[in-house]
Chains A and B, each alone.
Chain A
């Protein structure tokens, strides 16, 4: 009897999670032959959060995101995005993804790239035009709309790639190092925009190597050797480890895990 109750409770809790959590993973795992890139990660990311993922090179951030957006098949565990098992199909237009390696068509113009993604998301012509105008302003490429991407600078390409991930106004957006190579002034603009997205109830999940950016996130997840070694608001993380910056907090957490 008690067992059945507990089961029901668990089911209820899971249902509640499903509605509030846009990303929910349990023991999510990815192995590349003998290498464990993502090691039993349990994540719960609530709607409307700015979630930052930090961790050294090769700690599994990109692999984790790729599994969530359906580009890599997990070797273990499970994950729900917007309540749907990965790889998601039904809700796929509700998410956006900006890969780490730019991945936009260099032999097309900025406009043609945006138009391609808009078509793939079945956007109407009018909503595409207004979205495009707004995004071009934010990434400051309005005057380069008809330039070939191969003629843009590295940072500009990154900005164009970000716009492609956001063109369809997704509810949840995964951004893999969106601010790499972006100049400080524009980065300020980006963060304003991220804050604006959050204000509109969107969920932003991003990776970064800049600690000042991580500090601005609502929740920071710390990845190391494929494992999520710590998670929480930046302030809490520092308090818990009795440190004054996130780098030290990360080191302390890492030592604790090793011990």
Chain B
């Protein structure tokens, strides 16, 4: 292995990209485009969810826990209270009206505090009973995003009114969030999108470039010089790994500046994961390029590689949502480990020591792909 020759091969690959403005445009625009779409679709927290509030609590207004919770809800705009009912409206059966409005999809939920809400809550405080006071939320569950947003919003209102839960929570179902206290959907997506974008770009650019090298005869010509198969493979890996890295930096900056994505762990570790993954992908591209005779045929490989990764690697939904039958596929798709590692670092704030398994798999992926690439080149002669 001669560093000078490795660097020469890497430089050549990067120079080729520089002269190809369209490719560079693609490189920069694609992740921006992906992040923008995902960002605007799932980003910004869900806001102005229309709800009815029915407060039949008999306790006077200034002592009522229910009134305090409602007041707290009004300080934020996650929920938009389109109509409020007080104890004086009890005769008109506002709960039933609220239910009808939810059923007709005019509002997302009706939040109902019963007559004895504050009393019930106080009895829990004084230890008289363990039975919590109930806030009934009659809601439309068609959109899990919204259902989750309502649940979180109620929980945080209750918490802020009662202070740190010195009492048993008055809500029967209480989702307990360990990680991602403030995580929004976009935070869950961002690492997945980063891994996916890195995969698409390194794979596409590498396979196009290798198919072109093979059909133009330049790859063969290189082998008539002192450069070895291993050096060609290492130089290309370096170049495309760097491309993936550069692209990820663009994604991270966009994500942080435009969508306020959280990166709790080390950004350097994030980039290392992407680099390793990019190297592996370009190796895979190198191997597949020997099966494609034209650039057009090469493009046909993309869906084969893309779909399992897109659907089974946990980019859009957790791995737990993947059918049991397809789990083994998930576990051989390298993107699974990349995304898992990125999420652990970005959301959980884990360090390198905590993602050793993922790093190991990605390292293995890269090493095997590079080894096979060099071997396939040698065998050709």
| Contact mask for chain A residues 90-122; partner B; CB cutoff 8 A; 1 contact, 0 none | 001101010101111111110010001101111
Inter-chain contacts of B11 with A (CB < 8 A): 116, 119
Q: Does B376 contact A (CB under 8 A)?
A: no
| B-binding segment of A33-41, A64-72, A181-189 | A64-72
Q: Does A73 contact B (CB under 8 A)?
A: yes
| Contact mask for chain A residues 142-173; partner B; CB cutoff 8 A; 1 contact, 0 none | 00000010000000000000000000000000
Judge whether A105 and B381 touch: CB under 8 Å: no
Docked CA distance A109–B16 (Å): 9
Number of interface residues of B (CB under 8 A): 23
Inter-chain contacts of B223 with A (CB < 8 A): 70-71
User: Which residues of chain B from 337 to 368 have any CB-CB distance to chain A below 8 Å in the complex?
Assistant: none
Number of interface residues of A (CB under 8 A): 28
Inter-chain contacts of B218 with A (CB < 8 A): 103-105
Q: Does B47 contact A (CB under 8 A)?
A: no
Least Cβ–Cβ distance between B377 and chain A, in angstroms: 11
Q: Does B36 contact A (CB under 8 A)?
A: no
Given contacts A103-B217, A148-B19, contact A92 B225 (CB under 8 A): yes
Judge whether A103 and B216 touch: CB under 8 Å: yes
Judge whether A73 and B381 touch: CB under 8 Å: yes
Judge whether A103 and B221 touch: CB under 8 Å: yes
Docked CA distance A216–B16 (Å): 39
User: A97 contacts which of B7, B20, B221 (Cβ < 8 Å)?
Assistant: B221
Given contacts A92-B225, A120-B225, A122-B226, contact A71 B12 (CB under 8 A): no
Judge whether A72 and B4 touch: CB under 8 Å: no
Q: Does A232 contact B (CB under 8 A)?
A: no
Judge whether B220 and A71 touch: CB under 8 Å: yes
Judge whether A119 and B4 touch: CB under 8 Å: yes
Inter-chain contacts of A99 with B (CB < 8 A): 217, 220-221, 224
Docked CA distance A119–B7 (Å): 9
User: A107 contacts which of B2, B4, B19, B226 (Cβ < 8 Å)?
Assistant: B19
Q: Does B34 contact A (CB under 8 A)?
A: no
Given contacts A99-B221, A103-B216, A105-B16, contact A93 B381 (CB under 8 A): no
Docked CA distance A95–B307 (Å): 47
Least Cβ–Cβ distance between B137 and chain A, in angstroms: 60
Judge whether B16 and A120 touch: CB under 8 Å: no
Least Cβ–Cβ distance between B221 and chain A, in angstroms: 4
Docked CA distance A181–B113 (Å): 90
Judge whether B381 and A116 touch: CB under 8 Å: no
Inter-chain contacts of A103 with B (CB < 8 A): 216-218, 220-221
Q: Does B227 contact A (CB under 8 A)?
A: yes
User: A120 contacts which of B20, B217, B220, B227 (Cβ < 8 Å)?
Assistant: B227
Inter-chain contacts of A87 with B (CB < 8 A): 381
Q: Does B8 contact A (CB under 8 A)?
A: yes
Inter-chain contacts of B20 with A (CB < 8 A): 107
Docked CA distance A117–B222 (Å): 8
User: Which residues of chain B from 3 to 25 have any CB-CB distance to chain A below 8 Å in the complex?
Assistant: 4-5, 7-8, 11-12, 15-16, 19-20
Inter-chain contacts of A104 with B (CB < 8 A): 218, 221
Judge whether A97 and B19 touch: CB under 8 Å: no
Least Cβ–Cβ distance between B21 and chain A, in angstroms: 11
Inter-chain contacts of A101 with B (CB < 8 A): 216-217
Docked CA distance A101–B20 (Å): 22
Inter-chain contacts of B19 with A (CB < 8 A): 107-109, 148
Given contacts A73-B381, A108-B12, contact A120 B216 (CB under 8 A): no
Judge whether A108 and B5 touch: CB under 8 Å: no
A103: nearest residue on chain B (CB-CB)? Answer: B217
A108: nearest residue on chain B (CB-CB)? Answer: B15
User: Which residues of chain B from 183 to 227 have any CB-CB distance to chain A below 8 Å in the complex?
Assistant: 216-218, 220-227
Docked CA distance A69–B20 (Å): 32
Least Cβ–Cβ distance between B7 and chain A, in angstroms: 8
Most buried by A among B20, B217, B222, B225: B225
Inter-chain contacts of B8 with A (CB < 8 A): 116, 119-120
Inter-chain contacts of A73 with B (CB < 8 A): 381
Judge whether B12 and A112 touch: CB under 8 Å: yes
A149: nearest residue on chain B (CB-CB)? Answer: B19
Inter-chain contacts of B225 with A (CB < 8 A): 92-93, 117, 120-121
Docked CA distance A92–B225 (Å): 6
Q: List 20 A-B contacts (CB under 8 A).
A: A70-B381, A72-B381, A92-B224, A93-B225, A97-B221, A99-B221, A101-B216, A102-B217, A103-B217, A103-B220, A105-B16, A107-B20, A108-B16, A109-B19, A112-B12, A119-B7, A120-B5, A120-B225, A120-B227, A121-B225
Name the 7 nearest CB pairs between A and B, nearest first.
A119-B8, A103-B217, A103-B221, A97-B224, A107-B16, A120-B225, A101-B217
In addition to A71-B224, A112-B15, 10 A-B residue pairs with Cβ atoms within 8 Å of each other are: A69-B224, A73-B381, A92-B225, A92-B226, A105-B12, A107-B16, A107-B19, A116-B12, A121-B225, A122-B4
